Amino acid sequence: MNHYATYFDRGYLAQGVALWRSLARHDPEAELTVLALDDETAAVLLAIGGGRLRVLPLAELLAADAALSAAQAERTRPEFVFALTPCLVRHLFAARPEVGRWIYLDADLFFFAAPAPIWAELTGGSVLVVPHRYPAWQDDAARYGRFNVGVVGGRNDAGAREGVDWWRARCLESTALAGDGTRFGDQKYLDAWPHRFADVVESMHPGVNVAPWNWAR
């Protein structure tokens, strides 16, 4: 199986279901774990069913991660949500050690072709990050980060776990949407990965994470 993870609430339910259907269409080996951020989302996903769509209730993650639970009580909703990504990946590494590789996906992605190129790039390292690929005339990397969190891959090995643990610690310190060159949600922290950790691969495939900010390239 190819293991993927994402999270969303009922506000992104339509996008999340579209993500799953596009992924299932183009990757017959896909298994998607969804961190459901409310009961309505969990109920809809359970009704869709199928052995390849797994539902992880938010309460289960909070029970396993006391620091994340404490952050929920102290933060605005957007800042809490931005803390979820590394916490989810870290939890899955620990809860499912038999799974060798994971790809995190933002819920508003859609697949038009097989995701095999992503897995092929991840084969070359412990962690895969995807550059924003801003055009030169609108390069916002200094504010929002060189890399986009929409697609992040990781092997369940010591290198990836170290990177995810560091990322989680930074996000538990702050996920402020400052855009000041030091932090922006969960995203700006990824700038440090290539020089802080070994075996970090930067995706070179132009079809990965095509978006309004980079389609011109």
Give the tens place of pLDDT for each residue, 108-158.
Answer: 999 999 999 999 999 989 999 999 999 989 888 888 889 999 999 999 999
pLDDT band of residue 172 (cuts 50, 70, 90) is very high
- Is there a contact between 87 and 61 (Cβ–Cβ < 8 Å)? yes
Q: Distance between terminal CA atoms of the chain?
A: 32
Structure tokens given for 131: 């550059």
Q: Which residues pair with 2 in a beta bridge?
A: 30
| Count of other CB atoms within 10 angstroms of residue 215 | 10
Give percent of the chain above pLDDT 70. Answer: 100
Give yes or no for residue 179 having a pLDDT over 80: no
pLDDT band of residue 50 (cuts 50, 70, 90) is confident
- Distances from the Cα of 40 to the Cαs of 6, 114, 147, in angstroms? 16, 30, 32
Pairing of strands 53-57, 30-36: parallel
Distance, C-alpha 159 to centroid of its chain: 17
How high is the mean pLDDT of the chain? 95
Supply the pLDDT for residue 34.
Answer: 98
Give percent of the chain above pLDDT 90. Answer: 87
| Average pLDDT rounded to a whole number, residues 29-54 | 95
| Average pLDDT rounded to a whole number, residues 35-42 | 98
CA angle 116, 217, 89 (to 5 degrees): 45
pLDDT band of residue 51 (cuts 50, 70, 90) is confident
Supply the pLDDT for residue 144.
Answer: 86
Helices (H), 75-136: 77-82, 84-95, 116-122
- Is there a contact between 209 and 131 (Cβ–Cβ < 8 Å)? no
For 66-102, the pLDDT digits (tens) are: 999 999 999 999 999 999 999 999 999 999 999 999 9
184: left (phi over 0), alpha (psi -120 to 50) or beta: beta
Q: What is the DSSP string of 135-147?
A: -GGG--HHHH-SE
pLDDT band of residue 207 (cuts 50, 70, 90) is very high
Closest CA to 156 of 109, 120, 208, 104: 104
CA torsion through residues 24, 27, 30, 35, sign = negative
Supply the pLDDT for residue 177.
Answer: 86
